[in-house]
Structure 1
């Protein structure tokens, strides 16, 4: 190859490398651009609770007992500063409508001390109630909506307390091919101690698979969410054809004695 041809080939290689360097983007930038291109719905708008319904045990629909659910400093807060002590009044706040196939991303943190007299199991405990019944269909003295609970737990500074566990108020699930009637099952997540912010994601595929993820890593999965025919509240929700599989439902957050802040609650509809 003569010197002119060599020079031409070398120039093309240099130009190709330069163009690749100019058009390549860091992974973090690509991920952020992909996220922005997706149509995420902000369930919490950072301003008010206009699209949410509140239901506390023993109270009529819409009563925000002791102003427990509130918006402060752009956060959706579960606060107990108006409570003298725990009185067994569990609460839930429901986003409008029902959802079937979606991703739910939530940023939360546990803050301060549990209300005096709160149950030991509810220490730094909240939940994302998915595939739930409507707030209107709950009975007056019902503790929890029939639903699949993605349990959120905070550390106590010493013990292992994984988050993104699953609990089943009025429901059952299938894990590893077997129907399980155990109320709560732990995930493989690490423990998050202190008042740090935690970002979690749940991927829901109707009546099929539900996956729990932290930083894109799956920490728990199960399938075939279904009504428990032995539960008195679930019995009223089972359709006439007897099909127990739950394919859609409401999304709600809990108030069960642990002060909690939610900075973001967003949803991406899946086809």
Structure 2
């Protein structure tokens, strides 16, 4: 039996090509819309998470904060060391004659466990010359700290972990900020207990009067991350009570080896003027 070959008219071939192109265009538009919808969903989720941020500082007063200064009772804000100036919490020493080791801390009124903390800081040109040399352009934020009510009058630093802030000392010499220091505590760094009191971060060096955005991400006692101006600069694990540096504490409080899963947040004053603003926190599940 002979096969019969049907020829397809040219206009039908062209029509088929046009229809095929239209189908491809529609499919691509559909894929693009799906991607945009997915991106919008992610952005919306981000907006939802932003709603969980709360301010720890109202920009007006220190009503939600507790002062503890070495040589003074809890609540005694000696010489108005901590004050509110132009919407920022300022550490100011214009009421001091001598520093006399008055290491101070301003604690938020309640403890936190897992959270993301953000704050902005810069140093001022005040520095008490009778303070130790290492305090020059040096301050910090303490976290997982003991309750300020348990800090004795002659205790110098709270048992806590410190997000240390530094600024340039000598031009051209690196001096990173966002470091970790450990008064009465210890941490694991790169998988093992680190004996150093302070561990430097990988951050850049900043001028003393430059506003810097700092972030602290704490997952109870499992992981701690430091960020400076949006960049991660340090990571460590297993914060716990131990080690030295802190003096004058109640022995019942310093239980070496106890993992720190929560604690108070405190702004530091150790002879160098500094300002804090935009102090925000988001609790993490």
> TM-score normalised to the size of structure 2?
0.83
2:113 paired with 1:97: no
Residue 236 of structure 1 corresponds to 252
Residue 258 of structure 1 corresponds to 272
Contact 2:183 2:243 in 1 (8 A): no
Three-state SS of the structure 2 residue aligned to 1:112 is strand
Contact 1:126 1:151 in 2 (8 A): yes
Contact 1:171 1:234 in 2 (8 A): no
Residue 197 of structure 2 corresponds to 183
Alpha-carbon distance in 1 for matches of 2:45, 2:138 = 30
Alpha-carbon distance in 1 for matches of 2:266, 2:45 = 27
Residue 174 of structure 1 corresponds to 188
Contact 2:167 2:207 in 1 (8 A): yes
Contact 1:228 1:234 in 2 (8 A): no
2:143 paired with 1:130: yes
Q: Measure how far apart 1:48 and its partner are.
A: 1.1
Alpha-carbon distance in 1 for matches of 2:199, 2:113 = 22
Alpha-carbon distance in 2 for matches of 1:16, 1:203 = 39
2:161 paired with 1:148: yes
Q: Measure how far apart 1:113 and its partner are.
A: 3.0
Alpha-carbon distance in 1 for matches of 2:114, 2:45 = 22
Contact 1:167 1:184 in 2 (8 A): yes
Alignment of 1:33-182 (within 5 A): 34=47, 37-158=50-171, 159-182=173-196
Which runs of no fewer than 5 residues in structure 1 stay unpaired?
Answer: none
Which of 1 and 2 has greater Rg? 2
Contact 2:92 2:126 in 1 (8 A): no
Alpha-carbon distance in 1 for matches of 2:137, 2:198 = 16
Of the candidates 221, 224, 239, which is equivalent to residue 235 of structure 2?
A: 221
Which runs of no fewer than 5 residues in structure 2 stay unpaired?
Answer: 1-13
Question: Relative to structure 2, which stretch is displaced further, 52-61 or 226-235?
Answer: 226-235
2:203 paired with 1:208: no
Three-state SS of the structure 2 residue aligned to 1:259 is strand
